[in-house]
Amino acid sequence: MSVAVLRRAARETLSGLPREFWWLWTSTLVNRLGGFVATFMALYLTLDRGYSASYAGLVASLLGLGGVVSSLAGGVMADRLGRRPTLLVAQTSTAASVALLGFVEHPVAIAGVAFLVGMASNASRPAVQAMMADIVRPEDRVRAFSLNYWAINLGFAVSSMAAGFIAEVSYRAGFLLEAGMTLVCAVVVFLKLPESRPEREAKAVQEDGVGLGAVLRDGRFMSVVGLSFLVALVFQQGAVGLPVAMGAAGFTPADYGLAIAVNGVLIVVLQIPVTRFIEHRDPRRLLVVSSVLAGYGFGLTAFAGSVGVFALTVCVWTLAEIVNAPTQTGLVVRLSPTHGRGRYQGMYTLSWAVASLVAPVMSGFVIDRFGAEWLWGMCAVVGTAAGVGYAVLMRRLPGEGDVRGQVGGTVAGGTAGAAAEPAASAV
């Protein structure tokens, strides 16, 4: 492949997106580059503070629980207050709570602040996804979500490597550095990002509210949320089931680190070229294939007996992840009324937050009671079930211009509909 071909491919991938998208993308990248605390939190509590592994696990669970609570709250805020105010509140709150976490010492105080960190850091996710849908044209959304996902993983890969060096110098410095970089994100949002929420229409406000109750009554969308939860359970095993199973089989933490590093490297290398391949393909098939591929990618782990084979299985389910993440996020946008995007994205985010709480308990129970082979077999079954569910559910998926009664309009450089605004009484 010539240099000219590579340049043209890169230009086609990166061109055509509005300036506001790139400022939002930059904010995401900076935020992930500064994500040190999640990486060294367990080491900080056990090695630096001297707490038990059980207590470290409790704090990690509280971080996740905070994310569960704020997933819906962040979505409601994004629709009611606007995307920009929600991002500013979430990012400044995250900076303050992360900095405070580096100074509190009492175990109850640490647990409480960790819960606040989980709430604040996850509250911005529905707003980011809703703003991205607002400012990007429908035909470019899969590409935009893929680029955003690429930034998340690139930032995570760099911050994970840097976290170890920072921890050797000072754990507190890591907390303060993350707080400072999160504040930089807030400054970028404040200076460069206008509000993208579509303007309200008074008549629509009176006639059709989009509260959380309306989201819960949307049967097809909630079915998508349920299928998303199943897929998330499978993908979570890379962080919870895989290290436990490899440890029980006699592999070292370094072996696990080598195998799982393939995940981050492949996402950084392949996300953009794979996006070019899937951008205009049928999302039905992409979700079916990626769900089944994820299930059987983890299912093949039952036959792994060396680090090399473990790495090969990681390659399989990483490819599924690269396809699934932007496609599923784009599907949520297609099924969401314009003025309810925050709530719908919040409910979608909730499915992943709950999966992050359930997966560790599930994997530990199955491995202890039945063995790791049963866990990998269950992943294959769950992935297949999700694939079948998507195939059945999406037979009548509406087109980009036919979603939930939207009509054309232009918002912040992108195309957006003008569906009903949530009523004042909506949650």
Task: Determine, yes or no, domain membership for 232.
Answer: yes
Single residue among 167, 197, 227 that ends a domain in this structure: 197
The contacts of residue 292 (CB under 8 Å, 6+ apart) are 383, 384, 386, 387
Asked if residue 249 and residue 103 are part of one domain, the reply reads: no
| pLDDT at 9 (0 to 100) | 60
Global pTM value: 0.74
Domain that holds residue 220: 203-398+406-427
Whether residue 283 contacts residue 327, with contact meaning beta carbons closer than 8 Å, is answered with yes
CA distances from 298 to 74, 291, 303, 319 (A): 32, 11, 10, 12
Q: Are 290 and 327 in the same domain? A: yes
Mean pLDDT for the chain overall? 81
Dmax (CA) for the chain in angstroms is 65
Residues 172 and 270 in one domain: no
Question: What residue has token string 């992930």?
Answer: 32
If one counts the domains in the chain, the total is 2
Clarify whether residues 242 and 319 are in a common domain: yes
Same domain, 312 and 413: yes
| Residue 415 backbone dihedrals phi, psi, to 5 degrees | -95, 135
pLDDT-wise least confident of 40-54, 123-137, 357-371:
40-54
Instruction: Judge if 238 and 167 occupy the same domain.
Output: no
Query: pLDDT of 241-253, one tens digit each?
Result: 888 888 888 888 7
Q: pLDDT category, 235, cuts 50, 70, 90?
A: very high
Residue 362 in domain: yes
Q: Which pLDDT score is estimated for 417?
A: 31
pLDDT band at 410 (very low <50, low <70, confident <90, very high): very low
Please give the Cα distance from 43 to 45 (Å, whole number).
6
309 pLDDT more than 90? yes
Domain boundary among 197, 220, 249: 197
Alpha-carbon separation of residue 427 from 149, 214, 343, 404 (angstroms): 29, 10, 9, 20
In the chain, the percentage of residues whose pLDDT exceeds 90 is 29
Asked if 176 and 215 sit in the same domain, the reply is no
